[in-house]
Structure 1
């Protein structure tokens, strides 16, 4: 089974059910199924076939959903790309990913025009219309340009589906590339389908649910949890072009949303904007958090304010992405990423790959039908990540005696102060307890005496808070070697498009 076939089944069983809502326009499952088929038929007519690589550089919209499912129905390998990437970043992925066609917004064509000379392998740029009203005529890329809208209108429903094997590559997701160039994680049809189904089953996402898709769809968290999982069972996806607290409140109220999925910074913004809007989330039965560790103080404050449970989970691109979630049928453990979801196994191992004792810290490894095939054209990196059937995540974690996992921190982010290990998250958790701290991020900096020292960047609601006060606060909660030796106050912390705090950028500030 695959996502494309499942959509056909859902459309046949629930043709008039609303599948998507975007800018207050509704699309039924029957309409979505027809659009996907027509788009796939036109891709085939343009000469594309099973195994060809098609990039999808589109923001949250029906264009994205139709483009994704249409290309998958053809049997193409889809490469989702952040539309905000620079020309340099786009060029690397399009060349490394052997892309033959690009689906993008008309407002981004100028960016692709600048790099087209370096991409002889790209045969077509399929342009999605925006409100900007950009004309495709007389464009320098005109010979290679196709209108997404025209393709849909000219497509046919008399289309024989491509036969897909479960192990065929469906997606190549390029990781953020915190070290070296981005790596393309190859996910099969089995990977995507199994994880969407297992997440839907584990979190009981069903046809009565309306899920807010505020995270970027090119990110695998949104792709699986807020798009594929609800479409699996006939749910409704409430598509937001971009996140804003006010829009979340409005959409949740207007469409009686039942599920919201976000990263911790989104929950922080919602909490800061909560005044007078608490009732707008009254129909939400479940909030899902992932992408980064959620500070316990933030989690408790959000739940108390809105009266809704937050289920924190864990995942990574290489695992399609979800491996753990806090279960809904028993008390949630604050600070935990939860337990194994269905058909996925996690364990914590030492440097030799041996499982450590309960409560001890080691590297989190994962096994299951959701784990990637490998990195595209990177056999050595694949061999490091996939060993003896296990995916090595690079995250340090521990497991308690009830099978709940706790991510301590990224292996590469660990700070060693005079021979002692300091995990940034532990320090950040303490700082989030402080009433004047809105955001905090901890990094290691060089120190001649101890090798490394702890430094913290904070965003504060107070204009009078001082470094001295924060150091004294930390001394009361942390061992001396864990106390930051330096604080820097910022108006905001650098984040990626999913809202994840970028420690890499903060480290670069120190090096400058």
Structure 2
């Protein structure tokens, strides 16, 4: 079984049930499955074959759902790409990923025109029409790539509704997800049909998703968190997804009031925005039975404040692209532990090891490693990086963690974010947790900066709701709650912190700023 074939079976069982709402328009499972089948057939008529690589530069929309599931039904390998990446970033992934077909927003057609000479292997550009594209008045007939341009709508219309598709093996690569490249060029994590299906199935089962659920899908679909938790798992369980093109607190509260969602998934920054939104009525979120947080550690102070205001439980979990992504989640049938990412989900093993790969005692910190049917096949065209990351069947995550006596895991910090002050280890998250308890702090990020005496020192970057808050006051507050070597040596106040497209705060951007200065 795989994601696309399971959706086909669901459509036969509950054909009239809404699969999604988009811009207040519903589409049933039968309609979605029909569009997927016809798109797969249309791709085949364009010459796309099983095993070919199809890139998708799309935001949250039915285009993404139909495009991805259609390509998978044909047996092609999908490469989702953030459409707001720079031309260089997009070009690297397209070239490294050996992409033959691109599915893109019409707004990106001029970019495709500029890049075509560097991408001779691309045979098809399938363009998704948008109102913004029409407003831009791009005359595609005047472009040199015009013979390769096809309309997404036309590709669907050309397809055969009786198309069955080729036989797929569970070990075939279904998706290649390029990592953010924090340590160099992005690496393409190869996820098989088995990886994706098993993780969507197990997450859906663990979180008790069912046909009565309505899931707000506002995280970016090209990101692995949304892909599994807010898209694949709900559709696998016959739920309805509420597709939100772009996160905004105002739109989330509107969707919640109109459609009575039962599940919301987001990163901590989103929860912070919802909590701070002045017009957010707790009554609008009363239908939620579960909120899911991932992508970064949620400050305990924010978690407790949000839950108290909106009367809903947040279940924090953990994952990474290389694991499809989920490995841990706070359970629904046992106590939830604030600050924890929960125990291992079903069919997945996690453990904490030292530098020799030996499991450490309960309560001690070490590197988190993972094993299960969700672990990637490897990095595309990078055998050495694959061998360094997957050892004896275990995926080495690069995250520092510890486990308690109940089997709950806690992320201490990223291995590379560790700050060493005079030989003492300082985990940025610990300092951030303290600062999030300060009544005037809205957001905070902590990094290490060079220090001539201690090797490194701690610096805090803060967004404050109080313009009169001073560096001295923040440092004095930290002295009350932290050991001397953990106290920030300096504090910088910013209007906003740098974030990626999922809303995750980017410490590395702040570190780069330190290096430049």
TM-score, normalised by the number of residues in structure 1: 0.99
The whole-number CA distance in structure 1 between the counterparts of 2:259 and 2:430 is 38
Q: What is the SS of the residue equivalent to 2:140?
A: coil
The whole-number CA distance in structure 2 between the counterparts of 1:489 and 1:435 is 15
The whole-number CA distance in structure 2 between the counterparts of 1:414 and 1:289 is 23
User: 1:209 and 2:183 equivalent?
Assistant: no
The whole-number CA distance in structure 2 between the counterparts of 1:401 and 1:274 is 41
Match of 2:80 in 1: 80
The whole-number CA distance in structure 2 between the counterparts of 1:318 and 1:136 is 38
Match of 1:53 in 2: 53
* Cα displacement (A) at 1:158: 2.1
Match of 1:383 in 2: 387
Within a 5 Å distance, the mapping from 1:409-448 to structure 2 comes to 409-448=413-452
* Cα displacement (A) at 1:116: 1.1
Structure 1 range deviating more: 105-114 or 360-369: 105-114
* Cα displacement (A) at 1:274: 5.1
User: 1:14 and 2:18 equivalent?
Assistant: no
Match of 1:317 in 2: 321
The whole-number CA distance in structure 2 between the counterparts of 1:253 and 1:361 is 43
Aligned length: 512
* Cα displacement (A) at 1:135: 4.4
RMSD, matched Cα: 0.7
* Cα displacement (A) at 1:395: 0.1
Alignment gaps of 5+ in structure 1: none
The whole-number CA distance in structure 2 between the counterparts of 1:502 and 1:112 is 28
Within a 5 Å distance, the mapping from 1:290-439 to structure 2 comes to 290-439=294-443
Residue pair 1:87, 1:112 contacting (<8 A) in 2 also: no
- Residue number among 270, 275, 280 corresponding to 2:274 in the alignment: 270
Match of 2:128 in 1: 128
Q: Decide whether aligned partners of structure 1 residues 194 and 276 sit closer, same or farther in structure 2, where only a CA change above 3 A counts.
A: closer
Within a 5 Å distance, the mapping from 1:67-106 to structure 2 comes to 67-106=67-106
Q: Which consecutive segments of 4 or more residues in structure 1 shift more than 6 A?
A: none
* Cα displacement (A) at 1:140: 2.7
The whole-number CA distance in structure 1 between the counterparts of 2:103 and 2:509 is 30
* Cα displacement (A) at 1:206: 0.6
Match of 2:291 in 1: 287
Alignment gaps of 5+ in structure 2: none
The whole-number CA distance in structure 1 between the counterparts of 2:324 and 2:139 is 38
Q: Decide whether aligned partners of structure 1 residues 276 and 419 sit closer, same or farther in structure 2, where only a CA change above 3 A counts.
A: closer
* Cα displacement (A) at 1:336: 0.1
* Cα displacement (A) at 1:136: 3.0
* Cα displacement (A) at 1:8: 0.5
The whole-number CA distance in structure 1 between the counterparts of 2:154 and 2:53 is 22
The whole-number CA distance in structure 1 between the counterparts of 2:214 and 2:148 is 38
Q: Per-residue CA shift, 1:384-415, capped at 9, x if unaligned?
A: 10001100000000000000000000000000
Structure 1 range deviating more: 172-181 or 111-120: 111-120
Q: What is the SS of the residue equivalent to 1:301?
A: helix
The whole-number CA distance in structure 1 between the counterparts of 2:14 and 2:161 is 18
User: 1:483 and 2:462 equivalent?
Assistant: no
* Cα displacement (A) at 1:275: 4.3
Q: Per-residue CA shift, 1:47-80, capped at 9, x if unaligned?
A: 1111000001111000000000000000000000
The whole-number CA distance in structure 1 between the counterparts of 2:280 and 2:77 is 46
Residue pair 1:185, 1:317 contacting (<8 A) in 2 also: yes
User: 1:182 and 2:186 equivalent?
Assistant: yes
The whole-number CA distance in structure 1 between the counterparts of 2:408 and 2:45 is 50
Residue pair 2:274, 2:280 contacting (<8 A) in 1 also: no
The whole-number CA distance in structure 1 between the counterparts of 2:284 and 2:142 is 48
TM-score, normalised by the number of residues in structure 2: 0.98
The whole-number CA distance in structure 2 between the counterparts of 1:430 and 1:276 is 26
